[in-house]
Amino acid sequence: MARVALVTGGMGGLGEAVCIKLAALGYRVVTTYSPGNTKAPEWLASMKNLGYDFHAFPCDVADYDSAQQCVATVEKEIGAVDVLVNNAGITRDMTFKKMDKPNWDAVMRTNLDSVFNMTKPVCDGMVERGWGRIINISSVNGQKGAFGQTNYSAAKAGMHGFTKALALEVARKAVTVNTISPGYIGTKMVMAIPKEVLDSKIIPQIPMARLGKPEEVAGLVAYLASDEAAFVTGANIAINGGQHMY
């Protein structure tokens, strides 16, 4: 029986690459999408045309009850979740001087609370079955900080604190919990940055002198989801082209 992988925010650039990679390796892939996203059927159809028979369910990952209901539906219709990739995230960038409570809360709920909301209903099952993979997609800016991203950097740093603590609790049951911290990846979100800003401010900070590819991050996710990564837990793996080394 193929393992079930649940990827939150799987219809975005990075999430889509993760879904495709896991499907290519034989996982039954499920993704979530925002309840108001009217393009979900179109995305599913386009993926099916490429040969990927994904499943998708509406879920507000920032809402605990919505996450519970989504996972219950996945388990009923597809099967127990073996691999969880907490990928969903948003940005609301502004200096702290301009930061207001709604923009702080929105990022913390979507980027950090969602990790608890989605992990809570799947973790016990992984422990009971004696196998599981929880992979949290953080950011280089959660490691080094970023101007105008106090909310985002705090949420992404918090993800790894969660990773380390949970990894200790479930390690004896062969459940691993890890963080991936990508640098600037060529997703729609990053490509929306004005080209002059990319060329003058961002690319010069990257020793490899280029943006990362979503497929490169997806490959790392696939490794952490595999049996070969059974001894890797509590780790934060940077994939940033040398932009930040620690």
Catalytic (active-site) positions: 152
Report whether 209 contacts 203 (CB < 8 A).
yes
Provide the angle, in degrees to the nearest 10, between the axes of the packed helices 114-129 and 150-170. Answer: 10
Cα 75 to Cα 77: distance, rounded to the nearest angstrom: 6
Which H or E run contains 180?
Answer: strand 175-182
Query: Would you give the DSSP letter of residue 87?
Result: -
Cα 161 to Cα 155: distance, rounded to the nearest angstrom: 10
Cα 122 to Cα 170: distance, rounded to the nearest angstrom: 12
Alpha helices in the chain (DSSP H): 13-24, 40-49, 64-77, 101-108, 114-129, 140-144, 150-170, 188-191, 195-197, 214-224
- Rg for the chain, CA atoms, rounded: 17
Residue with the two structure tokens 């991203």:
149
Report whether 141 contacts 149 (CB < 8 A).
yes
**Number of Cα atoms under 13 Å in the Cβ half of residue 229:** 23
Cα 94 to Cα 98: distance, rounded to the nearest angstrom: 6
